[in-house]
Structure 1
Amino acid sequence: MSEKKRHSGKKLKFPQDMIAAAIGSIAALPEGMALGAMAGMNPIHGLYASIIGPFIGSWTTSSVYMVVSTTGALALATRGALHGISEDEKISVLVLITVLAGLIQILMGMFKLGFLMRFVSNSVMRGFLSAVAITIVLSQFADIFGYYESKHSNKVLKALDVILHYKEFNLYAIGIAMLTIILILYLEKTKLKNFSMFFSLTVATLTTFFIKISTLKLVGNDNKIPDELPTFVLPQYENIPDVFISSLAIALIGFIQSAGVSHMRPNPSGKYPDTNKDLRGEGLANVVSGFFTGIPVCGSVSHTSVLTSAGAYSRWASFISAIMIGILVFTMSGFIEQLPMAALGGILIISGFSSLNREGIFTIWETSIQARCIMGFTFIATLAVPIQFAVLGSVVLTFILQIVEASNRVKLKAVIVADDGFLKEIPPPTEIKSNEVIMLHPSGSLFFAGAYVLKDLLPNADNAEHSVVIIGLRGRKEIGSTFVTVIKEYLEHLKEHKCILKLVGVGQLVYHQLDRTDLLEEIGKENVYRFDSELGRPLMHARKDGYQWIKEQQ
């Protein structure tokens, strides 16, 4: 196909991006406001993020289809980070938190730390995201029931407190919330499903306006929606120590969510997005969002799904949707102030329940007891403590589980020469006999706890003399200090009983590590056999030398 035809084909797709952008901007408007309120800020800061996120992220991330925007998890984390901050200082602290989170993500991308995503277990991820979904639902109880007197900061306790004051519920708030929820659920089953939130919010607002429900709390009661561009604000860097943990947690939450979203669909080239480039692009979007007082952003499942289902073809869809959201915000500020908070609460309840992955939860539940416990622990921790600490705890738990799991996979086999001349693996002996050569092959990770597991598996030489133990290290790119310590201790044990140790299949890097730690000298260079591309050669060479050494000792 000629370049002219390819260019023409792309032009024909541009109207699809325009249509998808229009649908996406209308869907993003109510959710952006609701998430801004959830973050404990004026809803306009959620809208600013909904404009800046896709405006910057559409061109700086590796994923063509991912929409960088506001999410419930980040809104909750932001609210937790701003808890206890006075109203006068909230904007300056928000700016610092968002900018700092963006800088952390940029550094993570520059140092290619995207690979860390593979260490976050599915059980931890599902437990965390499920708890976030439930927390989003519980956090809306005050708005949908019209009771705002609870003093609890924990969302579970606050929701329980609201329920206990059922006699003080505002029936108008409940009615508007139910109207919004019912309309969304109905429209979701029609051709207007991509406009369901916008239409439902409009109907709820007009209902509130025409029947003059004075007892309903509106967006404009506490927040003035400006009809102008956001102002540029520099963060107060002296407060970094106070918000660093919160910013780190927000950066990690955004990283985890974006990694899942960007791999929902490959790029038009057929390749999946580069996680590290996504990190850098998302980080830049957060830095800009922060400078213009937007709340933190990351890859959004809901916004990405809306755009792709509406026929988005290229990055232009996300970019144009950002411009359209901006136009809607600055031409509808008066209307936005009339939005009932109960309606926004209804929207977020729908968003919370829709983000529960029931199939994923069931799969983990049926996998193993360990998977259930991990998912349950993460779920409870996220509900019990502020979300920024829950996500850091989940990440730490993931790494601990990785170490434990890796150590549990460490196995030790003895290798013998079978009658047919082939090598055969058998269970290793617990004790070494005198005047014998034992060939051992460890498998699994030998770092950290894995090295100590190997130590317990190695046969002892308490009743042996003049024997040779051969340990295969073929395929080991490097060894850790714990493994070096274990081998040194085992070597001393063998020497006490006039036995020797040989290492085979040693690669170049491992050989240098043995040399730098003086283990090479202690074992003896003649007892370290370098890696050979021919399978079994170093092992059989060491075996032959071992029997020769035993013969010389007699």
Structure 2
Amino acid sequence: MGQTSLNQTVGGRTRWAAICSGLWMIAILAAFSQVIGLVAMPTLAAVLIYAAAKSLRPRELVSILRTGPTSEIAVVTTFCATLFLPIAAAVGIGVSLSLLLQLNQEASDLKVVQLTLIGDGRWSEHPAPARLPSYRATVLDVYGSLLYAGSRTLQAELPDPAGAEVPTVVLRMRGRTAVGATFVKVVEDYATALDAVGGRLYLSGVDHAVAKLLRRTDRTGASEPVGVFEATEVVGESTTQALREAESWAVRRRPPNSDQ
């Protein structure tokens, strides 16, 4: 840490600064070892303190503190840890804490909304219902990360199919180029829950690589597999196709005397 600060203070720009400073240090120690041995330790400490002070950037620190509680907790905890613990341990604590806070942020910063087709290819956005309606298709979109803890939050936010008859759900996934094992498990569980009440799950706007993964790992045990509609160049096209298929699925299974 001290050598890095010194390199920055004297204008070092690349990793060669550390290599060159090491070579110069060897040469100086070999030529002036007796003189260097007379330098008092407080003097060396003062040099390191000066270099550390010069490496601080108040503007960046203020920007971090204004960003939000996640950044504040990480920077304050790391700073306090460096005062009482070895540098390696302090950095490890800071990195671990930042990772945990990021995972918590991803889990809490996820929102599920309902989309309704209003004509001319346009969609209106509404809060997602708590329960699914019977014999109708519900289009859902998700804001936020679906990796790690975000997938479990999605599972809790999805409308409950219990009590509904033949509900169908279209989950829009456009722009998501990768999913994890947790998301695949959530999709499997939700598809199974829909199948238990005669419904079916559809995924629209799916990236080609993600679509291959989902088809390869489809082990829901449901009577029908999860419907996967890959994304096209036209935004909303695959969702419209999935919605029509979902509506047709519900209509074909509607009892003749049903007033739903």
Quick check: TM above 0.5? yes
**Match among 123, 126, 130 for residue 423 of structure 1:** 123
> Per the alignment, do residues 523 and 507 of structure 1 end up closer, same or farther by CA in structure 2, a change over 3 Å counting?
farther
Match of 1:379 in 2: 79
2:96 aligned residue (378, 389, 396)? 396
Q: What is the deviation of 1:482?
A: 1.0
Q: Residues 385 and 316 from structure 1, CA distance in 2 versus in 1: closer, same or farther, beyond 3 angstroms? A: closer
Partner SS state of residue 10, structure 2: helix
- Residues 5-44 of structure 1 mapped to structure 2, 5 A cutoff: none
Shift of 1:323: 5.4
CA change 1:315–1:553 in 2 (3 A) is closer
Residues 119-518 of structure 1: pairs in structure 2 closer than 5 A? 300-307=4-11, 324-518=24-218
Q: Deviations 1:346-395 (Å, cap 9, x if unpaired)?
A: 32332333333333333333333443222222222333333322222222
Summarize deviations over 1:124-164 as a string: whole Å, max 9, x none: xxxxxxxxxxxxxxxxxxxxxxxxxxxxxxxxxxxxxxxxx
| 1:542 positional shift | 1.4
Q: Per the alignment, do residues 522 and 507 of structure 1 end up closer, same or farther by CA in structure 2, a change over 3 Å counting?
A: farther
Structure number with the higher strand fraction is 2
Alpha carbons 1:520, 1:528 under 8 Å: kept: no
CA distance in 2, matches of 1:410, 1:303: 43
Residue 518 of structure 1: CA displacement?
Answer: 2.7
Corresponding position of 2:248: 548
Distance 1:381 1:336, change over 3 A: closer
Amino acid aligned to 2:81: A
**Which residue in the other structure is 1:529 paired with?**
229
One-letter amino acid of the structure 1 residue matched with residue 114 of structure 2: A
The 8 Å contact of residues 491 and 523 in structure 1, kept in 2 or not, is answered as no
Cα distance between partner residues in 1 of 2:214 and 2:16: 55
The secondary structure found in structure 2 opposite 1:417 is strand
Report 1:42-57 matches (<5 A): none
Q: What is the CA deviation profile of residues 325-357 of structure 1, one whole-angstrom value per residue up to 9, with x for unaligned ones?
A: 544333222211222233223323323333333
Q: Which amino acid aligns with 1:454?
A: L
Equivalent pair of 2:7/2:18 in contact (CA under 8 Å): no
Aligned length, in residue pairs = 254
Q: Partners of 1:398 and 1:517 in 2: how far apart?
A: 32
Tell me if the contact between 1:501 and 1:523 (Cα under 8 Å) persists in the aligned partners. Answer: no
Q: Deviations over 1:153-189 (max 9, x none)?
A: xxxxxxxxxxxxxxxxxxxxxxxxxxxxxxxxxxxxx
Corresponding residue of 1:241: none
| Aligned counterpart, 2:257 | none
Q: Distance in 2 between matches of 1:506 and 1:303?
A: 48
SS at match of 1:470: strand
* Residues 215-251 of structure 1, C-alpha deviations (whole Å, 9 max, x = no match): xxxxxxxxxxxxxxxxxxxxxxxxxxxxxxxxxxxxx
Structure 1 letter corresponding to 2:145: S
2:238 paired with 1:538: yes
Relative to structure 1, is the Cα distance of residues 542 and 398 closer, same or farther in structure 2, using a 3 angstrom cutoff?
Answer: same
Alignment RMSD (CA, Å): 2.9
Structure 2 CA distance for aligned equivalents of residues 539 and 434 of structure 1:
20
Kindly tell me: are residues 305 and 355 of structure 1, through their superposed partners in 2, closer, same or farther at Cα, counting changes over 3 Å?
Answer: closer
Whether contact under 8 Å (2:113, 2:142) holds in the other structure is yes
Distance 2:16 2:214 in 1: 55
Where do 5+ consecutive residues of structure 2 fail to align?
255-260
Deviations 1:512-547 (A, max 9, x none): 322332347747458222232222221111111222
CA–CA separation in structure 2 for the residues paired with 1:350 and 1:449:
43
Q: Cα gap change, 1:476/1:521 in structure 2, threshold over 3 Å: closer, same or farther?
A: farther
Contact kept in structure 1, 2:218 and 2:225, CA below 8 Å? no
Name the SS for the 1:418 alignment partner: strand
**Is the helix fraction higher in 1 or 2?**
1
Aligned-partner Cα distance in 1 for 2:129–2:78: 41
1:91-130 correspondence to structure 2 within 5 Å: none
Question: What letter matches 2:205 in structure 1?
Answer: G
Percent of matched pairs sharing the same residue: 28
Contact 2:132 2:160 in 1 (8 A): yes
